Amino acid sequence: MLRPTVLALAFLAAPVAAEAPKVATDIAPVHSLAARVMQGLGEPTLILPPGASPHGHAMRPSEAQALEGADVIFWVGPALTPWFARAVETLGADARVIEIADLPGLTRLPFREGARFAAHDHDENAVHGDGHSDEQENEDAHGHGEEHAGFDPHLWLDPVNAGRIALAMAEALAAADPQNADAYLANAAAALDEIDAASAAVAGRLAPHVGKPFLVFHDAYHYFEARFGMEAAGTVSLGDAAEPGAARMAALRALIAETDTTCLFTEPQLSPRLAERLAQDTGVRLGILDPLGTSVAEPGPGLYPALLLGLADGMAACLGAGG
Protein backbone atom coordinates (compact mmCIF):
# COMPACT_ATOMS: atom_id res chain seq x y z
CA MET A 1 0.00 0.00 0.00
CA LEU A 2 1.25 3.49 -0.84
CA ARG A 3 2.41 5.22 2.35
CA PRO A 4 2.20 9.00 2.67
CA THR A 5 5.60 10.37 3.66
CA VAL A 6 4.20 12.06 6.75
CA LEU A 7 3.80 8.64 8.36
CA ALA A 8 7.58 8.31 8.43
CA LEU A 9 7.51 10.95 11.18
CA ALA A 10 5.14 8.94 13.36
CA PHE A 11 6.62 7.02 16.27
CA LEU A 12 5.20 5.00 19.13
CA ALA A 13 4.56 7.21 22.11
CA ALA A 14 2.65 6.80 25.35
CA PRO A 15 -0.42 9.01 25.42
CA VAL A 16 -0.05 12.08 27.57
CA ALA A 17 -2.69 13.28 29.97
CA ALA A 18 -5.03 15.19 27.67
CA GLU A 19 -8.71 14.69 26.96
CA ALA A 20 -9.31 13.40 23.46
CA PRO A 21 -11.81 15.24 21.25
CA LYS A 22 -15.37 13.94 21.19
CA VAL A 23 -15.77 12.29 17.80
CA ALA A 24 -18.94 11.21 15.96
CA THR A 25 -19.06 9.08 12.80
CA ASP A 26 -21.80 8.06 10.40
CA ILE A 27 -21.28 4.37 9.46
CA ALA A 28 -19.50 1.43 11.09
CA PRO A 29 -16.46 1.24 8.73
CA VAL A 30 -15.74 4.95 9.25
CA HIS A 31 -16.24 4.46 12.98
CA SER A 32 -13.82 1.52 12.92
CA LEU A 33 -11.06 3.52 11.26
CA ALA A 34 -11.59 6.39 13.70
CA ALA A 35 -11.61 3.99 16.66
CA ARG A 36 -8.29 2.49 15.53
CA VAL A 37 -6.71 5.93 15.15
CA MET A 38 -8.04 6.93 18.59
CA GLN A 39 -7.18 3.62 20.30
CA GLY A 40 -5.83 4.22 23.79
CA LEU A 41 -6.97 7.84 23.72
CA GLY A 42 -10.73 7.86 23.35
CA GLU A 43 -13.69 6.23 21.62
CA PRO A 44 -15.77 7.71 18.78
CA THR A 45 -19.55 7.50 18.69
CA LEU A 46 -21.29 5.54 15.92
CA ILE A 47 -24.48 7.30 14.78
CA LEU A 48 -25.93 4.69 12.36
CA PRO A 49 -26.90 1.62 14.42
CA PRO A 50 -25.70 -1.84 13.32
CA GLY A 51 -28.20 -3.41 10.94
CA ALA A 52 -29.61 -0.11 9.63
CA SER A 53 -29.25 0.96 6.01
CA PRO A 54 -27.08 4.06 5.45
CA HIS A 55 -29.44 5.20 2.68
CA GLY A 56 -32.22 6.05 5.11
CA HIS A 57 -32.34 6.38 8.91
CA ALA A 58 -34.39 8.39 11.42
CA MET A 59 -32.02 9.58 14.11
CA ARG A 60 -32.88 8.84 17.73
CA PRO A 61 -32.55 11.55 20.40
CA SER A 62 -29.41 9.91 21.84
CA GLU A 63 -27.79 9.90 18.38
CA ALA A 64 -28.68 13.55 17.83
CA GLN A 65 -27.24 14.41 21.24
CA ALA A 66 -23.95 12.66 20.43
CA LEU A 67 -23.71 14.52 17.14
CA GLU A 68 -24.45 17.84 18.80
CA GLY A 69 -21.75 17.27 21.43
CA ALA A 70 -19.04 16.25 18.96
CA ASP A 71 -15.84 18.22 18.48
CA VAL A 72 -14.99 16.34 15.27
CA ILE A 73 -17.36 14.59 12.83
CA PHE A 74 -16.22 12.08 10.20
CA TRP A 75 -18.78 11.09 7.59
CA VAL A 76 -18.75 9.87 3.98
CA GLY A 77 -21.01 12.52 2.49
CA PRO A 78 -24.57 13.22 1.29
CA ALA A 79 -24.40 10.84 -1.67
CA LEU A 80 -24.33 7.93 0.80
CA THR A 81 -26.28 9.28 3.79
CA PRO A 82 -28.50 12.16 2.67
CA TRP A 83 -30.40 12.08 5.98
CA PHE A 84 -27.14 12.85 7.80
CA ALA A 85 -26.44 16.05 5.87
CA ARG A 86 -29.06 18.24 7.56
CA ALA A 87 -28.10 16.87 10.98
CA VAL A 88 -24.45 17.73 10.40
CA GLU A 89 -25.40 21.22 9.25
CA THR A 90 -27.56 21.94 12.30
CA LEU A 91 -26.38 19.74 15.18
CA GLY A 92 -22.73 19.72 14.12
CA ALA A 93 -22.43 23.42 13.47
CA ASP A 94 -19.72 23.85 16.12
CA ALA A 95 -17.72 20.75 15.17
CA ARG A 96 -14.86 20.30 12.74
CA VAL A 97 -16.49 18.28 9.95
CA ILE A 98 -14.44 15.98 7.73
CA GLU A 99 -16.40 14.84 4.67
CA ILE A 100 -14.59 11.77 3.40
CA ALA A 101 -15.93 12.13 -0.14
CA ASP A 102 -14.02 15.41 -0.36
CA LEU A 103 -10.65 14.13 0.87
CA PRO A 104 -7.79 14.52 -1.63
CA GLY A 105 -5.82 11.51 -2.82
CA LEU A 106 -8.63 8.92 -2.83
CA THR A 107 -9.40 6.65 -5.75
CA ARG A 108 -12.90 7.34 -7.01
CA LEU A 109 -14.88 5.14 -9.39
CA PRO A 110 -17.94 6.14 -11.44
CA PHE A 111 -21.42 4.83 -10.83
CA ARG A 112 -22.37 1.81 -12.92
CA GLU A 113 -25.65 2.15 -14.75
CA GLY A 114 -28.42 -0.33 -15.47
CA ALA A 115 -29.02 -3.92 -14.41
CA ARG A 116 -26.17 -5.20 -16.60
CA PHE A 117 -22.65 -3.87 -16.08
CA ALA A 118 -20.35 -3.52 -19.07
CA ALA A 119 -16.86 -4.92 -18.57
CA HIS A 120 -14.33 -2.13 -18.34
CA ASP A 121 -10.82 -1.23 -17.28
CA HIS A 122 -11.01 0.11 -13.73
CA ASP A 123 -7.71 1.96 -14.14
CA GLU A 124 -9.06 3.93 -17.09
CA ASN A 125 -12.29 4.84 -15.28
CA ALA A 126 -10.78 5.50 -11.87
CA VAL A 127 -10.69 9.04 -10.60
CA HIS A 128 -7.62 9.87 -8.53
CA GLY A 129 -6.38 12.70 -6.40
CA ASP A 130 -8.33 15.81 -7.35
CA GLY A 131 -11.42 13.74 -8.25
CA HIS A 132 -11.33 14.17 -12.03
CA SER A 133 -10.90 11.90 -15.01
CA ASP A 134 -11.23 12.70 -18.71
CA GLU A 135 -14.54 10.84 -18.76
CA GLN A 136 -15.93 12.98 -15.93
CA GLU A 137 -14.47 16.37 -16.79
CA ASN A 138 -17.65 17.73 -18.36
CA GLU A 139 -19.95 16.14 -15.78
CA ASP A 140 -17.94 17.50 -12.88
CA ALA A 141 -17.89 20.97 -14.40
CA HIS A 142 -21.69 20.99 -14.39
CA GLY A 143 -22.74 19.91 -10.94
CA HIS A 144 -20.10 17.86 -9.11
CA GLY A 145 -20.39 18.96 -5.52
CA GLU A 146 -23.44 18.85 -3.30
CA GLU A 147 -24.45 15.28 -4.12
CA HIS A 148 -21.00 14.22 -5.39
CA ALA A 149 -22.58 13.20 -8.69
CA GLY A 150 -20.24 11.26 -10.90
CA PHE A 151 -18.66 8.79 -8.51
CA ASP A 152 -19.69 5.94 -6.28
CA PRO A 153 -19.64 6.94 -2.57
CA HIS A 154 -18.72 3.47 -1.21
CA LEU A 155 -15.11 4.67 -1.04
CA TRP A 156 -14.12 2.76 2.11
CA LEU A 157 -14.36 -0.60 0.33
CA ASP A 158 -11.04 0.07 -1.38
CA PRO A 159 -8.50 -0.75 1.36
CA VAL A 160 -6.00 1.72 -0.11
CA ASN A 161 -8.63 4.43 0.30
CA ALA A 162 -9.24 3.23 3.86
CA GLY A 163 -5.57 3.68 4.73
CA ARG A 164 -5.61 7.20 3.37
CA ILE A 165 -8.82 7.94 5.29
CA ALA A 166 -7.17 6.72 8.50
CA LEU A 167 -4.24 9.05 7.89
CA ALA A 168 -6.58 12.01 7.26
CA MET A 169 -8.35 11.20 10.51
CA ALA A 170 -5.05 11.12 12.38
CA GLU A 171 -4.07 14.50 10.96
CA ALA A 172 -7.45 16.03 11.87
CA LEU A 173 -7.29 14.64 15.41
CA ALA A 174 -3.67 15.74 15.81
CA ALA A 175 -4.70 19.26 14.89
CA ALA A 176 -7.58 19.15 17.39
CA ASP A 177 -5.46 17.51 20.12
CA PRO A 178 -1.78 18.46 19.58
CA GLN A 179 -0.59 16.85 22.84
CA ASN A 180 -1.51 13.43 21.48
CA ALA A 181 -0.52 14.05 17.85
CA ASP A 182 2.27 11.45 17.84
CA ALA A 183 -0.05 8.79 19.24
CA TYR A 184 -2.71 9.42 16.58
CA LEU A 185 -0.10 9.17 13.81
CA ALA A 186 1.40 6.02 15.32
CA ASN A 187 -2.06 4.44 15.49
CA ALA A 188 -2.66 5.34 11.85
CA ALA A 189 0.62 3.67 10.87
CA ALA A 190 -0.44 0.52 12.75
CA ALA A 191 -3.85 0.65 11.06
CA LEU A 192 -2.18 0.66 7.64
CA ASP A 193 -0.16 -2.44 8.58
CA GLU A 194 -3.35 -4.22 9.65
CA ILE A 195 -5.18 -3.20 6.47
CA ASP A 196 -2.23 -4.43 4.38
CA ALA A 197 -2.29 -7.80 6.12
CA ALA A 198 -6.05 -8.17 5.63
CA SER A 199 -5.74 -7.15 1.97
CA ALA A 200 -3.10 -9.81 1.33
CA ALA A 201 -5.34 -12.45 2.89
CA VAL A 202 -8.31 -11.29 0.81
CA ALA A 203 -6.31 -11.47 -2.42
CA GLY A 204 -5.31 -15.04 -1.63
CA ARG A 205 -8.86 -16.14 -0.86
CA LEU A 206 -10.32 -14.58 -4.01
CA ALA A 207 -7.60 -15.61 -6.47
CA PRO A 208 -9.32 -18.90 -7.47
CA HIS A 209 -12.56 -17.05 -8.26
CA VAL A 210 -11.38 -14.14 -10.41
CA GLY A 211 -13.44 -14.00 -13.60
CA LYS A 212 -16.47 -15.89 -12.25
CA PRO A 213 -19.70 -13.95 -12.93
CA PHE A 214 -21.93 -12.91 -10.05
CA LEU A 215 -24.71 -10.44 -9.28
CA VAL A 216 -25.07 -8.09 -6.34
CA PHE A 217 -28.32 -6.91 -4.85
CA HIS A 218 -27.03 -3.36 -4.40
CA ASP A 219 -24.09 -1.89 -6.29
CA ALA A 220 -21.92 -1.22 -3.24
CA TYR A 221 -18.79 -3.22 -4.10
CA HIS A 222 -17.22 -1.50 -7.11
CA TYR A 223 -14.14 -0.43 -5.11
CA PHE A 224 -13.63 -3.85 -3.56
CA GLU A 225 -14.04 -5.56 -6.93
CA ALA A 226 -11.59 -3.21 -8.65
CA ARG A 227 -8.92 -3.62 -5.97
CA PHE A 228 -9.07 -7.43 -6.01
CA GLY A 229 -9.76 -8.19 -9.68
CA MET A 230 -13.41 -9.21 -9.26
CA GLU A 231 -16.28 -7.72 -11.26
CA ALA A 232 -20.03 -8.06 -10.84
CA ALA A 233 -22.10 -8.73 -13.95
CA GLY A 234 -24.98 -6.57 -12.72
CA THR A 235 -27.15 -5.43 -9.82
CA VAL A 236 -30.73 -6.00 -8.76
CA SER A 237 -31.55 -2.67 -7.11
CA LEU A 238 -30.91 0.88 -8.18
CA GLY A 239 -27.94 2.90 -6.98
CA ASP A 240 -29.62 4.06 -3.77
CA ALA A 241 -30.89 0.52 -3.01
CA ALA A 242 -34.39 1.34 -4.36
CA GLU A 243 -36.44 -1.62 -5.59
CA PRO A 244 -36.37 -2.43 -9.33
CA GLY A 245 -39.35 -2.68 -11.66
CA ALA A 246 -40.56 -5.62 -13.72
CA ALA A 247 -38.44 -4.73 -16.76
CA ARG A 248 -35.25 -4.75 -14.72
CA MET A 249 -36.14 -8.10 -13.14
CA ALA A 250 -36.70 -9.56 -16.61
CA ALA A 251 -33.34 -8.21 -17.76
CA LEU A 252 -31.67 -9.84 -14.75
CA ARG A 253 -33.23 -13.22 -15.53
CA ALA A 254 -31.88 -12.96 -19.07
CA LEU A 255 -28.46 -11.90 -17.80
CA ILE A 256 -28.23 -14.88 -15.45
CA ALA A 257 -29.08 -17.27 -18.27
CA GLU A 258 -26.70 -15.67 -20.78
CA THR A 259 -23.67 -15.44 -18.50
CA ASP A 260 -24.22 -18.65 -16.52
CA THR A 261 -24.12 -16.60 -13.35
CA THR A 262 -24.24 -18.84 -10.30
CA CYS A 263 -24.27 -16.39 -7.36
CA LEU A 264 -26.40 -13.46 -6.26
CA PHE A 265 -25.24 -11.63 -3.14
CA THR A 266 -27.74 -10.06 -0.73
CA GLU A 267 -27.03 -7.74 2.21
CA PRO A 268 -28.02 -7.94 5.88
CA GLN A 269 -29.28 -4.33 5.82
CA LEU A 270 -31.71 -4.87 2.92
CA SER A 271 -34.73 -7.10 2.37
CA PRO A 272 -33.83 -10.31 0.49
CA ARG A 273 -37.35 -10.74 -0.95
CA LEU A 274 -36.53 -9.87 -4.58
CA ALA A 275 -33.26 -11.79 -4.50
CA GLU A 276 -35.09 -14.85 -3.22
CA ARG A 277 -37.60 -14.52 -6.05
CA LEU A 278 -34.78 -14.40 -8.61
CA ALA A 279 -33.19 -17.44 -7.01
CA GLN A 280 -36.45 -19.37 -7.24
CA ASP A 281 -36.91 -18.38 -10.89
CA THR A 282 -33.36 -19.01 -12.09
CA GLY A 283 -31.67 -21.42 -9.66
CA VAL A 284 -28.93 -18.91 -8.85
CA ARG A 285 -27.32 -19.44 -5.42
CA LEU A 286 -27.73 -16.77 -2.74
CA GLY A 287 -24.77 -15.50 -0.77
CA ILE A 288 -24.42 -12.65 1.73
CA LEU A 289 -22.05 -9.68 1.59
CA ASP A 290 -22.03 -6.97 4.24
CA PRO A 291 -20.56 -3.65 3.03
CA LEU A 292 -20.79 -2.21 6.55
CA GLY A 293 -19.25 -5.17 8.38
CA THR A 294 -21.61 -5.17 11.35
CA SER A 295 -22.72 -8.76 10.71
CA VAL A 296 -19.13 -10.05 10.96
CA ALA A 297 -17.72 -7.96 13.83
CA GLU A 298 -18.74 -5.68 16.66
CA PRO A 299 -18.24 -1.96 16.00
CA GLY A 300 -14.74 -0.93 16.99
CA PRO A 301 -11.12 -0.86 15.80
CA GLY A 302 -11.16 -4.45 14.51
CA LEU A 303 -14.26 -4.13 12.36
CA TYR A 304 -12.61 -2.78 9.22
CA PRO A 305 -10.12 -5.66 8.67
CA ALA A 306 -12.91 -8.11 9.56
CA LEU A 307 -15.15 -6.40 6.98
CA LEU A 308 -12.59 -7.04 4.22
CA LEU A 309 -12.13 -10.66 5.23
CA GLY A 310 -15.89 -11.14 5.53
CA LEU A 311 -16.45 -9.94 1.97
CA ALA A 312 -13.77 -12.33 0.71
CA ASP A 313 -15.22 -15.25 2.65
CA GLY A 314 -18.74 -14.51 1.42
CA MET A 315 -17.65 -14.34 -2.21
CA ALA A 316 -15.47 -17.44 -2.00
CA ALA A 317 -18.14 -19.50 -0.22
CA CYS A 318 -20.78 -18.87 -2.90
CA LEU A 319 -18.57 -18.80 -6.00
CA GLY A 320 -16.77 -21.97 -4.93
CA ALA A 321 -19.89 -23.90 -3.93
CA GLY A 322 -20.49 -25.37 -7.36
CA GLY A 323 -17.07 -26.95 -7.68
**196-226, pLDDT tens digit by residue?**
999 999 999 999 999 999 999 888 999 999 9
Is pLDDT of 3 > 80? no
pLDDT at 135 (0 to 100): 34
pLDDT at 134 (0 to 100): 33
Is pLDDT of 252 > 70? yes
Matching fold, domains 20-201 and 208-319: yes
Task: Render pLDDT for 121-159 as a digit per residue (tens, 0 to 9).
Answer: 445 445 444 433 333 333 332 233 333 357 899 999 999
CA distance 21 to 69: 10
Helix axes 28-37, 181-206, angle to 10 degrees: 130
65 or 113, which is more confident?
A: 65
Task: Render pLDDT for 164-193 as a digit per residue (tens, 0 to 9).
Answer: 999 999 999 999 999 999 999 999 999 999
Partners of residue 96 on adjacent β-strands: 72
Which has the minimum average pLDDT: 30-39, 114-123, 217-226, 258-267? Answer: 114-123
Q: Name the CATH superfamily housing domain 208-319.
A: Nitrogenase molybdenum iron protein domain (3.40.50.1980)
Give the domain 20-201 fold.
Answer: Rossmann fold (3.40.50)
* Mean pLDDT computed over 298-319: 97
CA dist 79 → 6, 101, 181, 283, 320 (Å): 30, 9, 31, 34, 34
* Mean pLDDT computed over 249-262: 89
pLDDT at 119 (0 to 100): 62
Contact 287, 240 (CB under 8 A): no
pLDDT at 239 (0 to 100): 56
Percent of the chain past pLDDT 70, that is, above it, reads 82
pLDDT at 116 (0 to 100): 76
CA dist 320 → 104, 143, 283, 285 (Å): 38, 43, 16, 11
CA distance 193 to 24: 24
Task: Render pLDDT for 222-249 as a digit per residue (tens, 0 to 9).
Answer: 999 999 999 899 888 765 556 777 888 8
153 or 12, which is more confident?
A: 153
For the chain, domain boundaries = 20-201, 208-319
The three-state DSSP-derived secondary structure of the chain is CCCCHHHHHCCCCCCCCCCCCCEEECCHHHHHHHHHHCCCCCCCEECCCCCCCCCCCCCCHHHHHHHHCCCEEEECCCCCCHHHHHHHHHHCCCCEEEEHHHCCCCCECCCCCCCECCCCCHHHHCEECCCECHHHHHHHHCCCCCCCCCCCCCHHHCHHHHHHHHHHHHHHHHHHCHHHHHHHHHHHHHHHHHHHHHHHHHHHHHHHHCCCCEEECCCCCHHHHHHHCCCCCEECCCCCCCCCCHHHHHHHHHHHHHHCCCEEEECCCCCCHHHHHHHHHHCCEEEECCCCCCCCCCCCCCHHHHHHHHHHHHHHHHHCCCC
pLDDT at 148 (0 to 100): 38
